[in-house]
Amino acid sequence: MNRLERLRAEGRFDAVNEAIPYTKFVGLQCDIASGSLLTIMRHRASNIGNPSIPAIHGGVVGAALEHAAIMELLYRGDSPELPRTINLSIDYLRPARDEDLFMRATIVRHGRRIANVRVGGWQSDPAKPVAAAHCHFLLSKD
Amino acid sequence: MKIEDDPAEFFKANMHHFPHFNALGLELMELKKDACVMRLVQREELLGDSERGILHGGVITTLLDSVAGAAGFSGMEPGHTLATLDLRIDYLRPSEPKLDVFGKAEIYRRTRNVAFATGVAYQGDEDQPIAKCTASFMISPLPGGAKG
Q: Does A90 touch chain B (CB under 8 A)?
A: yes
Asked if residue B88 belongs to a domain, the reply is yes
pLDDT single digits (tens) A94-108 = 999 999 999 999 999
Cα separation, A70 vs A19, whole angstroms: 14
* Chain B residues within an 8 Å CB radius of A64: 58
Instruction: Please indicate, yes or no, if residue B102 is contained in any of the structural domains.
Output: yes
pLDDT at A136: 98
Distance from CA of A35 to the nearest CA of B (A): 25
Contact A20 B66 (CB under 8 A): no
Under a CB-based contact definition with an 8 Å cutoff, are residues A103 and A121 in contact? yes
| B96: CATH | 3.10.129.10
ipTM: 0.93
Domain membership of residue B124 as a residue range: 3-141
- Distance of residue A36 Cα from the nearest chain B Cα, in angstroms: 23
pTM over 0.90: yes
Domain count, chain B: 1
pLDDT digits (tens, 9 = 90+) for B84-127: 999 999 999 999 999 999 999 999 999 999 999 999 999 989 99
Percent of chain A with pLDDT over 70: 97
Report yes or no: B118 and B105 within 8 Å, Cβ to Cβ.
yes
Q: What is the pLDDT of residue B32?
A: 93
Which stretches in chain A have pLDDT values below 50? none
Say yes or no: domain A3-138 is CATH 1.20.120.530. Answer: no
Query: Looking at residue B79, what is its pLDDT?
Result: 83
Model confidence pLDDT, tens digit, residues B10-64:
888 888 889 999 999 999 999 999 999 999 999 999 999 888 899 999 999 999 9
Give chain B's contact residues with A (Cβ, < 8 Å): 17-23, 44-52, 55-59, 61-66, 69, 83-91, 94
Per-residue pLDDT, averaged over B53-82, amounts to 93
Please give the Cα distance from A46 to A44 (Å, whole number).
6
Neighbours of A5 (CB within 10 A): 15
Whether B148 maps to a domain, the answer reads: no
**Is the pLDDT at B5 greater than 80, yes or no?**
no
- Determine the pLDDT at residue B148: 40
Band (pLDDT 50/70/90 cuts) for residue B1 is low
Coil vs helix vs strand at B17:
helix
pLDDT mean across residues, chain B: 91
Which pLDDT does position A79 carry in this prediction? 72
What pLDDT is recorded for position A9? Answer: 79
